[in-house]
Amino acid sequence: MGLEKKQIEIIAVSAMFGLLAIVLAWQLWPSAKTTDGKEPLESPGSYREQLQKAEMAVKGLSRLREETEELQKKRDAALKEVPLETDHTWLSRQVNEHAARAGVKDVSQRYLPAAAGGGSLGDELKTNYSERTWELRMQCGYHELGQFLAGIEGANRFLEVTDISIEGNDPAGQKVVLIVRYLTGKGKDAQPPAPTTR
């Protein structure tokens, strides 16, 4: 009888410890907790909330993609409205850039159509290019003129300086006139540029 009583006590104590372990596990298990009345993460309501957030994020990405595509279309349409730079404006800009670097002043440019087209080009160049002659007027000293000539001689499509003349002497520098030959692409705008002065 004493043995049975001992066994009952052991079973009772084990059961109490088992219940205590279950209660502790329930309290410590994160998914079983509810804080501030919120549903646990594993509850159906919580899954529904996470799914709604994901759907909203996907919709936001779709809207952002559509806005980006619309902006790209507007940009492409705007670029089509911008006229491409012609050979003449490009060559004129090259002359102005070299003049600025060399310190040359009062540069004016004039296209000479009567002198255009020379026959000294090779067959490969004749296919895609034509010769054009420009008159460049400027005010500079000999040092600046040398720098300017060195600059344009290294420029793309430059052929040669065919004539140099000095029209007058000025304390600020010589009045120099250059006749230069350039290549221009065939089929490009053949109208002479408006005279430009720096």
d(CA 153, CA 181): 11
Check whether 54 has a pLDDT greater than 60.
yes
Tokens for 33, please give them: 């907790």
Give residue 196's pLDDT. Answer: 44
Q: Using CA atoms, how far apart are residues 69 and 9, in angstroms rounded to an integer?
A: 78
The 10s digit of each residue's pLDDT in 128-142 is: 677 778 888 988 888
Radius of gyration of the chain (CA): 43
How many CB atoms are located within 10 Å of the residue 160 CB?
A: 10
What pLDDT is recorded for position 191? 42
- With pLDDT > 90 as the criterion, what percentage of the chain qualifies? 0
Class of 87-185 in CATH: alpha beta
Predicted TM-score of the model (pTM):
0.46
To the nearest whole number, what is the mean pLDDT of the chain?
A: 70
